[in-house]
Amino acid sequence: MTLELDIKVEELSINPEKDLNLPVDWDKPLIPENYSQKAGQGVRKEIDEQSAKLILLLNLIDEYERNLVEICDKLEAGFLQLSRAKFYNPNRFDSSYYDLRELNAQSQIKDGKLIIQGPTKPESKPEENEEEKEPEEPTLRNRHQKSSKIVKKVNSDAELRNSSFKDPIKMFGAILPVSLYESQAAFKQSLELLMEKKRLVAEMSALFDRVEEIEREKEKEKEKEKEKEKDDAQEDDSPEKHNERKTSAQ
């Protein structure tokens, strides 16, 4: 026995981005009622909420996979450029030069957004910082000396150092190869992508929960209908109903 399926491709394929015009807020109904696809025949004119949410979930999964690929690419590029920097300058860019002093965080998450700090004008007062640090490290920091040519620059560098921003790459020195900066840039970009990944995971998770909730509601409704049918059937079989039918028939 053969089963012939005469299904047009246009009936099956739906381009969510183009045809469904999905809004950003997925809590609201996504699909307008009486939607009809342009091509093909015999397509359902309405798409229920669950299907719309599933379509959106699939979109998010696709976006998530692309995001993962981008993260992998950026991390690979970062590590490769770091290896290249080490190729040009062995033993210069390893853990020997890590700065273990307290540093302000360069990247912060505020209101769900990633903020990467950049160089700012020195706002903090260098004198206060010096007074604080002097009892702790009286021998290492000695900024109250007279300045020479180089130390003129050092004073401006001291202000920069006392400001809230310090580029961590400078712990390896001041004259650094381009590949090291490229490595840093790749890792920073991967940080933004990781934030995006986190957002996608949260959205997918919530969407999936909603789809399951809709599924549970549908099952409950089905059960209610079944029970109602049962009750109706029982009522029909009751003696009172039987007599009513007999009376009406007569």
Partner 1 sequence: MEGLFFNIENGYIEALVRGYRSGLLTSSQYINLTQCDTLDDLKLQLSSTDYGNFMANVPSPLSTSTIQRKASDKLYDEFNYIRSQSTDLLAKFMDYITYGYMIDNVALMITGTIHERDRSEILDRCHPLGWFDTLPTLSVATDIESLYQTVLIDTPLAPYFYDCLSAEDLDDLNIEIIRNKLYKAYLEDFHKFSQTLPSPANEVMDRLLQFEGDKRAINITLNSIGTELTPEVKLEIFPQLGSLIPFHLELSRVEDSETLKGIVSNVGTYKEFFGSDDDKNLEDHFYQHEMNLCRDAFTQQFTISTIWSWVRSKEQEVRNITWIAECIAQNQKERINNYISVY
Interacting residues toward partner 1 by CB under 8 A? 76, 79-80, 83-84, 86-88, 90-91, 94, 96-101, 139-143, 145, 148-151, 153-154, 156-158, 160-161, 170-171, 173-178
For the chain, how far is it from start to end, CA to CA, in angstroms? 51
| Amino acid residing at 65 | E
Distance of closest approach, residue 56 Cβ to partner 1, in angstroms: 35
Phi-psi region of 165 (alpha: psi -120 to 50; beta: other; left: phi over 0): beta
Write down the least CB distance from residue 67 to partner 1, Å: 21
- The nearest distance, CB 212 to partner 1, in angstroms, is 38
For partner 1, the closer of residues 99 and 217 by Cβ is 99
- Cα–Cα distance between 130 and 148 in angstroms, integer? 20
186 in Cβ contact with 84 (< 8 Å)? no
Spatial separation of the C-alpha atoms in residues 151 and 149, rounded to whole Å: 6
Cβ nearer to partner 1, comparing 86 with 197: 86
Beta strands in the chain (DSSP E): 107-110, 113-116
Q: Which is nearer to partner 1, 175 or 233 (CB)?
A: 175
Instruction: Quote the least distance from Cβ 124 to partner 1, whole Å.
Output: 16
User: For partner 1, which is the closer residue by CB, 48 or 99?
Assistant: 99
Helix axes 178-237, 49-88, angle to 10 degrees: 160
Q: Return the number of the residue (52 or 177) whose C-beta is nearest partner 1.
A: 177
**Whole-number minimum distance, CB 140 to partner 1, in Å?**
6
Element (DSSP H or E) covering residue 50: helix 49-88
